[in-house]
Structure 1
Amino acid sequence: MDNNIRFLTIFTPCENIHLIKDIGMIPYVLYKEFNYNSTIASYNNGEYPYLKTDVKGLKQVFIKQVFKSDFLNLLNFILFNFKKFDVLQVYHFSLKQVFLLYVFKILNFRNHKTRVFLKMDVNDSIKSWKFNFAKKVFYKFLLKKIDLLSLESKKLHEFSVKNDMFGNIIKYIPNGFYDGGTRQDTHYEDKENLIITVGRIGSPEKNNEVLLDGFKEFSKLNNKWKLELIGPIEESFNAYINEFMNDNPDLNGKISFAGSISDRKDLEHRYKKAKIFVLTSISEGFPLVFLEAIKSGCIIVSTDLNTAYDVTDNGRLGGIFTIGNHMQLSKILNEKANDEEKLANDCISIQNFAYENFYWKNICHNIITLINGEIN
Structure 2
Amino acid sequence: MPKLVALCPYVAYRNEELLKDCVLIPYAFMTELGYDVTVMTAQKEEFTYRKYLPGLKLDIVPTCLDDAWADYLVTYLKNYEQPIDVLFLFGMYQNYYPAVKYFKEHYQGKIIMKLDANSYWVNELINPDYSGWDYLIKNCDLISTEGVAIQNYLAKKWKRPIDLIRNGSLRRDFTPELSKKVKEKVILNVGGQEIGRKNTGFLLKGFLEVCHEFPDWKLELIGPVKPEVHQLVMDIYQAYPELKERLRLLGPIKDKATLEKHYQKAQVYLTTSLSEGSPNSIAEALRNGCYILTSKIDIWQDAFAKGGGASFEHGDLDGLKNELRKALSQPKQLKAAFDLNRAYSQKELIYESEVRRYQLLLESSLR
TM over 0.5: yes
> Does the Cα contact within 8 Å between 1:210 and 1:325 map onto a contact in 2?
no
Deviation at 1:203, TM superposition (A): 4.9
| 1:362 aligned residue | 353
Deviation at 1:221, TM superposition (A): 1.9
Q: Percent identity?
A: 22
> Does the Cα contact within 8 Å between 2:12 and 2:63 map onto a contact in 1?
no
| 1:101 aligned residue | 100
Return the match for 1:16 from 11, 14, 17.
Answer: 14
> Does the Cα contact within 8 Å between 2:189 and 2:220 map onto a contact in 1?
yes
Query: Residue type of the partner of 1:29?
Result: A
Deviation at 1:186, TM superposition (A): 2.7
| 2:209 aligned residue | 217
| 1:62 aligned residue | 60
Deviation at 1:99, TM superposition (A): 3.8
Deviation at 1:197, TM superposition (A): 0.7
Q: 1:264 to 1:132 in 2, by over 3 A?
A: closer
> Does the Cα contact within 8 Å between 2:70 and 2:98 map onto a contact in 1?
no
Is the aligned partner of 1:37 residue 2:36? yes
Query: Residue type of the partner of 1:59?
Result: K
Q: Equivalents in 2 of 1:365, 1:347: separation in Å? A: 27
Q: Equivalents in 2 of 1:366, 1:242: separation in Å? A: 48
Q: Equivalents in 1 of 2:213, 2:64: separation in Å? A: 62
Q: 1:202 to 1:95 in 2, by over 3 A?
A: closer
> Does the Cα contact within 8 Å between 2:15 and 2:47 map onto a contact in 1?
yes
Query: Residue type of the partner of 2:265?
Result: K
Deviation at 1:350, TM superposition (A): 0.7
Q: Equivalents in 1 of 2:136, 2:119: separation in Å? A: 24
| 1:232 aligned residue | 224
| 1:75 aligned residue | 74
Query: Residue type of the partner of 1:131?
Result: N
1:258 is paired with a residue of what secondary structure? strand
> Does the Cα contact within 8 Å between 1:82 and 1:104 map onto a contact in 2?
no
1:162 is paired with a residue of what secondary structure? helix
Q: 1:301 to 1:100 in 2, by over 3 A?
A: same
Q: Equivalents in 1 of 2:330, 2:340: separation in Å? A: 15
Return the match for 2:110 from 78, 94, 115.
Answer: 115
Q: Equivalents in 1 of 2:138, 2:196: separation in Å? A: 39
Q: Which ranges of 4 or more aligned residues in structure 1 deviate by more than 3 Å? A: 44-47, 62-68, 128-133, 138-145, 373-376
Query: Residue type of the partner of 2:5?
Result: L
Q: 1:181 to 1:14 in 2, by over 3 A?
A: closer
Query: Residue type of the partner of 1:10?
Result: L
> Does the Cα contact within 8 Å between 1:217 and 1:327 map onto a contact in 2?
no
| 2:24 aligned residue | 25
Deviation at 1:94, TM superposition (A): 3.4
User: Number of matched residues?
Assistant: 363
Q: 1:118 to 1:130 in 2, by over 3 A?
A: closer
Query: Residue type of the partner of 1:62?
Result: I
Q: Equivalents in 2 of 1:66, 1:332: separation in Å? A: 48
Deviation at 1:373, TM superposition (A): 4.8
Q: 1:166 to 1:118 in 2, by over 3 A?
A: farther
Deviation at 1:372, TM superposition (A): 2.2
> Does the Cα contact within 8 Å between 2:13 and 2:41 map onto a contact in 1?
no
Deviation at 1:102, TM superposition (A): 3.1
> Does the Cα contact within 8 Å between 2:97 and 2:135 map onto a contact in 1?
no
Q: 1:132 to 1:195 in 2, by over 3 A?
A: closer
> Does the Cα contact within 8 Å between 1:9 and 1:39 map onto a contact in 2?
yes
1:69 is paired with a residue of what secondary structure? helix
Q: Equivalents in 1 of 2:314, 2:171: separation in Å? A: 32
Deviation at 1:183, TM superposition (A): 3.8
For structure 2, the residue ranges without an aligned partner over 5 or more in a row are none
> Does the Cα contact within 8 Å between 2:114 and 2:145 map onto a contact in 1?
yes
| 1:187 aligned residue | 179
Q: Equivalents in 2 of 1:206, 1:142: separation in Å? A: 30
Q: Residues 104-149 of structure 1: CA distance to partner in whole angstroms, max 9, x if unpaired?
A: 132013xxxx11111111211213356375x36x655554432111
Return the match for 2:160 from 167, 170, 184.
Answer: 167
Return the match for 2:332 from 320, 341, 347.
Answer: 341
| 1:372 aligned residue | 363
1:71 is paired with a residue of what secondary structure? helix
- 1:276-291 alignment runs, 5 A limit: 276-291=268-283
Query: Residue type of the partner of 1:306?
Result: D
> Does the Cα contact within 8 Å between 1:277 and 1:299 map onto a contact in 2?
yes
> Does the Cα contact within 8 Å between 2:307 and 2:337 map onto a contact in 1?
no
Query: Residue type of the partner of 1:225?
Result: W
Query: Residue type of the partner of 1:167?
Result: R
> Does the Cα contact within 8 Å between 1:99 and 1:142 map onto a contact in 2?
no
Query: Residue type of the partner of 1:341?
Result: K
Q: Equivalents in 2 of 1:142, 1:223: separation in Å? A: 53
Q: 1:364 to 1:94 in 2, by over 3 A?
A: same
1:265 is paired with a residue of what secondary structure? helix
For structure 1, the residue ranges without an aligned partner over 5 or more in a row are none
Deviation at 1:358, TM superposition (A): 0.8
Return the match for 2:265 from 265, 268, 273.
Answer: 273
Q: Equivalents in 1 of 2:64, 2:124: separation in Å? A: 35
